[in-house]
Chain A
Amino acid sequence: MSAPDFDRALVMPTFLAETDEGLHAMEESLVRLESAPADDETLNVIFRAVHTLKGNAAALGLAAPADFSHGLEDLLDRLRGGVLTATPDLISLLLECVDTLRVMVPESVAGRDTLRAANHKLLARLSASAEGQALGLRSEPAAAAEALGTVAARTLRVDVSKLDRMLNLSGEISIARGRLSALIETRKASPAREAALDALRELNELFVDLQQEITGIRMVPVGPTFRPFLRTVRDAAAVYAKQARLVLEGEEVEVDTSVIELIRDPLTHLIRNALDHGIEPPETRRALGKPALGHITLRARHDAGRIVIQLSDDGAGLNRERIVARARTLGWISDAARMSDADVYRLVFEPGFTTADAVTALSGRGIGMDVVRRNVEALRGTVDVESRAGVGATVTIRLPLTLAIIRGFLVGVADETFVIPLDTVSECIDHGPGDDARDEHSGIVQLRGEAVPFLRLRRAFELGGRPAGGRESIVVLRHGERRAGLAVDSLLGECEAVIKPLGALLTNLPGISSATILASGRVALILEPAVLLESAEARARAGVERVRGTS
């Protein structure tokens, strides 16, 4: 092949990027093909990717990838013609080819443009498969694959940090707007004031539109993040000698780009765990009357302003006895008989549950689960696990849709203002001057026949003083399956809080996640109600006597 007469150096980066995209598309489609072996569109995607690669490589004078793709194309042609069937073995072989090309193309661009012995061996296996496989019966056509994007949209790649900056600026504008509005409203009634208020209203509408646009740009579907997990499951299943398939649901659900970036690692971890310790070996599954092929489902959906990501498997479930035994060894619990399953399962997320010992003793579900929880909580999310012995386990992660702004509920305590994330608030009730002691750390309030425990924020935060007139309000929060409240002096309404970090010196503040700036210019702290309520529970468990002794 003669060297082409254009400047290769200029074309190579584009070629490499395009090849990378093509190989990704091919990989995804191959895994998809496994569950829908006769889907023509999926086959076409694979065929096109290889064909394009072959053509490009030949045009650039890269002999090795061109030859290799040629061999690959032969086999794909037979697959497309219905002569061959996409068996799992064949798909493994094709995935191996993808991996080979990933290494071969950059090498060949770098100047090492010859086929290695291993490559020849793989080509030989390809042609043996192309010739040798008996004519397989094509299975029924699967449901039509989703139409792949055919219309080229006008798009632009933008650095996420620029979007971050835009979002921050819009937050600053929101604060300044609040100040302006407060200034105008305190003026005496006059035509000028009315005109200013009119202009402000118009500004508000435009601003809300702008903010929605900015938040919207940052929203991306979870699909592209989820799809590589298909391969993760396939490869990991082989390593653990299990049979499993990953099913994706809700790929179109959108979430802020920064959230999805940060959730990828925890998900990888959970998926490996599900395969390693959830899904049983095929022979065990058969003996249990389950299909040998295990199913792992990764689904996303929106729920009450949050994104819910669920990973379910139909494996063995968590082993309560082993978890209890481990926790007892660690000295965390003495009597587990009274603990609910949910409380027991929650233990696997505790830091320190992870030890080399736990890996074997605990069907290993403890490996790095605390790290998963910490990552999720760092995103202001929650993680829960449900399990039924022999039926499977489900890990549910709930995350905010965006990390930069939250809908908050403002409350006043002493001379401070705090922000409670609105998505945790269930309702607010008035708690007039009653006969209970206002200095107590916590109490109980009756709500439609339900006894709801509440924590008095003034006492919990040691802010001193007493509420004016002895009147309090209780913000009722969803706390896991139950409800619990925070007693505050006053309710100050909803707000859009732009989240400001507290900095490296103030990390790990109990019950406080971050801060925001109010319209007045003052800083208000954003509460982490779950932590506050858990600490109240821990305090109750520890017993009043001990608390008095230590506080």
Chain B
Amino acid sequence: MSKSALYLIVRVEEQHIGLPVANVREIFEPLVTTRVPGAPPAFRGVVNLRGSVVPVLDLGAVLGLRQTPIAAARCVVLLEIVVDGERTSVGLACDAIDEVAVLSAEEGSAPSFGTRVPPQQLFGLAHSRGAHVLLLDVEQALANVGMRAASRVAAAIRSAERSAELD
């Protein structure tokens, strides 16, 4: 069984990445960015997108394709994702945007190794115009970069909540 869906194909470090169009809200040019002290390295900072404060991540750094965010990304894709049950917006800075295409990730198409991105962050692998496209499970990929995942405090709070519920 194959699942076809619309993907926005972007490029980062010469790698083609497919972002589910269902999550994509808009594409914007890089804005003046405010650094966020204490945030994980993949965070470029926060921007003012028409009155809302939106965090911007470097897609290359999120996927481990490069260590540090590059200073001048050429475009930012705004995604809407659900983190810990909360709907939130996040910008992903990429090197270039290619096209929107209908791609299908076939069952078992994700190789268990060999890709530059951890396979558990992928829906699978597809082909478009002779190139491999990694179909990214954005919520999975971003779940690990947020402060929630990084924070031991958050874990402590969650465990306290659980014990409070037991009371």
Contacts A416-B34, A507-B154, A512-B36: A371 and B160 contacting too (C-beta < 8 A)?
yes
Contacts A461-B37, A503-B88, A505-B88: A354 and B160 contacting too (C-beta < 8 A)?
yes
Chain A, residues 458-490, CB within 8 Å of chain B (1/0): the string is: 001111000000000000000000000000000
Q: In the complex the two chains form, what is the Cα distance from A22 to B115 in whole Å?
A: 69
Q: In the complex the two chains form, what is the Cα distance from A506 to B88 in whole Å?
A: 10
Closest 10 CB pairs of A and B: A461-B37, A505-B146, A504-B83, A504-B88, A523-B34, A500-B53, A504-B86, A351-B160, A508-B151, A503-B88
Interface: A385 (CB within 8 A): no
Q: In the complex the two chains form, what is the Cα distance from A374 to B154 in whole Å?
A: 11
Interface: B5 (CB within 8 A): no
Within 8 A of A (CB), among B26-65: 32, 34-39, 43, 45-48, 51-55, 57
Q: How large is the interface on B (under 10, 10 to 19, 20 to 34, 35 or more residues)?
A: 35 or more
Q: In the complex the two chains form, what is the Cα distance from A548 to B4 in whole Å?
A: 52
One of A33-41, A87-95, A256-264, A514-522 at the interface: A514-522
Q: In the complex the two chains form, what is the Cα distance from A172 to B50 in whole Å?
A: 10
Q: In the complex the two chains form, what is the Cα distance from A523 to B34 in whole Å?
A: 6
| A contact residues around B147 at 8 Å (CB) | 505-509
Contacts A502-B55, A503-B89, A505-B146: A352 and B37 contacting too (C-beta < 8 A)?
no
B164 touching A512 by the CB < 8 A rule? no
Choice from A367, A505, A525 contacting B34 with Cβ under 8 Å: A525
Shortest Cβ distance from A498 into B: residue:
B51
Interface CB pairs A-B, < 8 A, 27: A351-B157, A351-B159, A367-B164, A367-B167, A461-B38, A500-B53, A501-B53, A502-B36, A502-B55, A503-B88, A504-B86, A504-B88, A504-B148, A505-B55, A505-B83, A506-B43, A506-B46, A506-B146, A508-B147, A508-B153, A509-B37, A511-B38, A512-B37, A517-B53, A522-B34, A523-B45, A525-B37
A523 touching B160 by the CB < 8 A rule? no
Interface: B71 (CB within 8 A): no
Interface: B24 (CB within 8 A): no
Choice from B36, B160, B161, B164 contacting A506 with Cβ under 8 Å: B36
Q: In the complex the two chains form, what is the Cα distance from A257 to B90 in whole Å?
A: 30
Q: In the complex the two chains form, what is the Cα distance from A370 to B161 in whole Å?
A: 9
| A contact residues around B167 at 8 Å (CB) | 354, 359, 367-368
Apart from A463-B35, A515-B46: 12 A-B pairs, beta carbons within 8 A:
A351-B153, A351-B156, A352-B160, A354-B164, A356-B163, A502-B36, A503-B55, A507-B146, A521-B48, A523-B47, A524-B34, A525-B46
Chain A, residues 338-371, CB within 8 Å of chain B (1/0): the string is: 0000000000000110111001000000011011
Choice from A175, A355, A515, A522 contacting B32 with Cβ under 8 Å: A522
Q: In the complex the two chains form, what is the Cα distance from A90 to B55 in whole Å?
A: 61
Interface: A291 (CB within 8 A): no
Interface: B84 (CB within 8 A): yes
Chain B, residues 13-34, CB within 8 Å of chain A (1/0): the string is: 0000000000000000000101
Contacts A351-B160, A371-B161: A505 and B145 contacting too (C-beta < 8 A)?
yes
Q: How large is the interface on A (under 10, 10 to 19, 20 to 34, 35 or more residues)?
A: 35 or more
A517 touching B146 by the CB < 8 A rule? no
B39 touching A503 by the CB < 8 A rule? no
Chain A, residues 503-547, CB within 8 Å of chain B (1/0): the string is: 111111111100101000111110000000000000000000000
Choice from B48, B142, B146 contacting A522 with Cβ under 8 Å: B48
| A contact residues around B36 at 8 Å (CB) | 502, 506, 509, 512, 525
